[in-house]
Structure 1
Amino acid sequence: MKPKVSIVVPIYNVAPYLERCLDSLTSQTLEELEIIAVNDGSTDGSGELLDRYAAKDKRIVAIHQPNGGVSAARNRGIRSATADYIGFVDPDDWTEREMYAELYHTALAERADIVMCTYIREFGTHGKEKRFPLPEKVSYENEEVQAKLLRRLVGPLQDEIASPEYLDAWGTVWSKLYKTSLIRDHQVEFIDLHVVGTNEDSLFNIHAVYHARKFVFLNKPYYHYWRVNSGSVTSGYKPDLKDKWFELYGFIERFVEEKRLPPEFRQALNNRICLNTLGLGLNTISAGNKAPALTKLRRLRGILNDGRIRQSFKQFESASCSVIWRLFYGCARFRWALGFYCMLLAIDWLRRTVK
């Protein structure tokens, strides 16, 4: 029987979490699944664990390859998929049992190219739902997809700037189900994280959404995003993150120019650069960075004095931000590194501890 949904799981040294992930997928209420698990050169026993699961459940397709990174593993999964729809799950995360049934049946009923749900961020001791201020279901069609979603993936405008914590909430691939033909016909692929550092999801979605005719958003948290794994590609200290993010901005800028998108897309990218000083700052002060506090402060000062960032802040409008965010981005705009550092420490503490 042909599967209805192919789920791509890139695996690299996640043995403590992998069973939880695979159990959540094999217990889906939508049983007609193909679980394409790509072991990307694991050395911790993840590959052996995967093979044991594949021997018990024929829906699991175990692929073993030399380590090439999460993007290479996902691209291999895309090439191997046989279903009409593709989803992505990270191996340290898990899903609600009804997730893929809900996304799949919505895609069919709405004739949607992409369907998205919301998620819960899991911190080990507690979970925090990522709440989107939208109705239970929202559909975007034709021009709306580019005007409202594609532009939002490039960056925020106006009132959206007031919530910098939502900058990339729309850009995750694991919260979505894609029509396979959309991905393959337009040769949409993931770019190597060694090039862009993070946000390969958002870049992938920018290309996918550009070609989508209909996008449906379900305001229900079916996905669990594990934030505790320090070995995750989205965790830990990345000393070259700023340079890689400027490579990311270059990809987005060229895309906007090649597709001749409206001027507001350029302003949206400019706002992204400003808001991303939060991510650059949190990366700099992260526990994975063992440098002394004074060294971290000097690095923050270097970020705030970068010419591209300074130029972006000249056009940045923070009027719609709350007082706290205006103060935070005011520190960045006027390059007050010490105030910026202190506020980063407070933000980091709040996001990890407040339930």
Structure 2
Amino acid sequence: MIYKVSVIVPVYNVEHYLRKCLDSLINQTCKKIEIIIVNDGSTDNSQLIIDEYALKYDNIKTIVQSNKGLSEARNTGIKNASGEFLAFVDSDDWIEKEMLHEMYNLAKKYSADIVLCSLQNTDDQGKIIKKLPELHQLPERIDLTQDFTIFGEMSCFACNKIFKRELFNDISFPKNMHFEDVATIPRLFLKAKTIAKSNKYFYQYLIRSGSITRNYSIKGINMFDAIEIVKHDFFKSIYFKNLHDWHKFTIFQGFYCFLAYYAYVSDYSSRKKMFSKLKETLKSEHISKKQIYTYNRFGKNYLSTLNLKKIIFYVLQLIKL
């Protein structure tokens, strides 16, 4: 069978969540999908669940490897994928049954290289905690060669998108890096020309205790490594003259997103090193405090869209720069 989408599911000790994830994939209205499950060294009963599903469904491919981390599990999936498009679903999350059908149809309708949808954070009972709209203000089709502003304003999630498989021919997720999505997704956009999107909240992102995003440490400094990786590709791309959009990308990821992480780091020594790296990066990129204050996202001053507590926090950090 020629698969429309290969769905890559990295698995590591998620026995309590895995069935819900796999059920959401098996029940997709898009039937020509390949499900590649990469067991990244799980020590719980995840493999027993994987084997159960693999015996029952012919379109499931399973791979077992020693624990190498999320990036390497995804890279293994990419190497073994045969679908026209690739999707990434975390094994404790789930997706709505129409997601892949609608997103694939949008890709074909507009000859799009990447298609995205919106997300929402949920708890263990499926209760919506927070909606995360993605580019709702933009049209269904986006021609990046005509309007590249999305690059400096987008969220860098891997999980709410499908990508033409060829985009990954010379790109992989960096090993052992926090913010691996920031280092990878923008580079795929740099190779793309047409984007399509759905405003529907197809992807359900589970918020649970003990997940990697809850363990705040010096590893957050990897944000600047990620930015450097993207920078290398940016200035080799057809979009290299869009310096304003590059500065916006650095401001959003390197200042706002980085400090949102930094705020939860408790170790004083780590905080000092991280803030020093922030100052160094902004200086090397010739980004001024005024540019940060006046950064616009989706046509609005970003700082003014935040709640008062966050505004105070960011302004205090700006004063310290």
Provide TM-score, normalisation by structure 1.
Answer: 0.77
| Mapped partners of 1:59, 1:5: distance in 2 | 11
Deviation at 1:301, TM superposition (A): 5.6
Is 1:226 aligned to residue 198 of structure 2? no
Partner of 1:68, secondary structure, is coil
Match of 2:292 in 1: 317
Partner of 2:178: 197
Task: Give the Å deviation of 1:300.
Answer: 4.3
Q: Distance in 1 between matches of 2:246 and 2:192?
A: 21
**Any idea what SS the aligned residue of 1:102 has?**
helix
Distance 1:60 1:310, change over 3 A: closer
Tell me the equivalent position of 1:239: 218
- Find the partner of 2:280 among 287, 303, 308: 308
Choose from 251, 265, 271 the match for 1:284: 265
Change over 3 Å in CA distance of 1:309–1:210 after alignment to 2: closer
Hey, what does 2:196 align to over in structure 1?
216
Match for residue 133 of structure 2? 131
Counterpart Cα distance in 2 of 1:38 and 1:5: 16
Range with greater deviation from structure 2 (19-28 or 300-309): 300-309
Q: Distance in 2 between matches of 1:82 and 1:197?
A: 28
1:269 Cα shift? Answer: 4.2
- The residue that corresponds to 1:175 in the other structure is 160
Counting aligned pairs with the same residue, the percent is 27
Q: Which whole-Å CA distance do the structure 2 matches of 1:223 and 1:118 have between them?
A: 7
CA deviation profile, 1:255-301 (whole Å, cap 9, x unmatched): 3334434321442244132213433334315xxxxxxxxx55x7546
Cα root mean square deviation, aligned: 2.5
What residue ranges of structure 2 are gaps of 5+ in the alignment? 295-300
- Seen in structure 2, the aligned counterparts of structure 1 residues 84 and 305 have a Cα distance that, compared at 3 Å, is closer
Preserved contact between residue 136 and residue 219 of structure 1 (Cα < 8 Å) = no
Tell me the secondary structure at the aligned position of residue 14 of structure 1. Answer: coil
The secondary structure found in structure 2 opposite 1:334 is helix
Query: Following TM superposition, by how much is the alpha carbon of 1:5 offset from its aligned partner in structure 2, in angstroms?
Result: 1.4
**What does the per-residue CA deviation read over 1:76-108, in whole Å, with 9 as the maximum and x for residues that have no partner?**
111111121111100000000111111111111
Task: Pick which of 64-73 and 134-143 moved more.
Answer: 134-143
Task: Mark the CA change 1:190 to 1:33 in structure 2 (over 3 Å): closer, same or farther.
Answer: same
SS of equivalent residue, structure 1 residue 97? coil
Determine helix, strand or coil for the equivalent of 1:90. coil
Give yes or no for contact 1:139–1:217 (8 Å, CA) kept in 2.
Answer: yes
Q: TM-score, normalised by structure 2?
A: 0.84
Alignment of 1:29-40 (within 5 A): 29-40=29-40
1:148 is matched with: 149
Q: Which amino acid aligns with 1:210?
A: L
Q: Is the 8 A contact 1:118 1:130 kept in 2?
A: yes
Matched residue of 1:112: which SS? coil
Match of 1:347 in 2: none
